[in-house]
Amino acid sequence: AVGIAAADDLWMARYLLQRVAELFMANVTFTPKPVPNWAGIGGHTNYSTASTRAPGGFETILKHCERLKSRHKEHMDAYGTDNELRLVGNDETQSFDKFSFAVGDRSASIRIPVKAASRNCGYYEDRRPAANMDPYMVMKMIVATTLFYDDVGKPVPVG
């Protein structure tokens, strides 16, 4: 339910931002790369499960990253329109068609915080979603991939 509530909150925040901007006759954009040669606008998503937060959860984080790597293209297809304009391999981003994960690396697709590595548990950040992403779709993709697929992208039998 937490992921759903976060998605609900994001939609409400976007709505409120647009209404307040109207009052000041300002424009709002969620376009991933609104200004050429500037860093783009991402919808970075922090994610954890009970097993990543438990003692020894760092191993689970690494397994999740391998699973996310195995379905990278499917995720990119769902992570917002025109995201390839933002993810070009500079401005602290990985290239759209490449996947990487690392501790403390803001240019990786998945950034694992140094604190999570040092504590051997915690969360990680998927830096691939664009600002115009559908948060429900992003959560669906992350949850399905990390909990219902194996490390080579094959569905795990449930039941």
Note the pLDDT of residue 159. 56
Note the pLDDT of residue 28. 96
Tens digit of each residue's pLDDT (9 = 90 or more) over 95-135: 999 999 999 999 999 999 999 999 999 999 999 999 999 99
pLDDT over 70 at 52, yes or no: yes
Note the pLDDT of residue 158. 64
Q: What is the CA radius of gyration of the chain?
A: 16
Calpha distance 145→140 (Å, rounded): 8
pLDDT over 70 at 1, yes or no: no
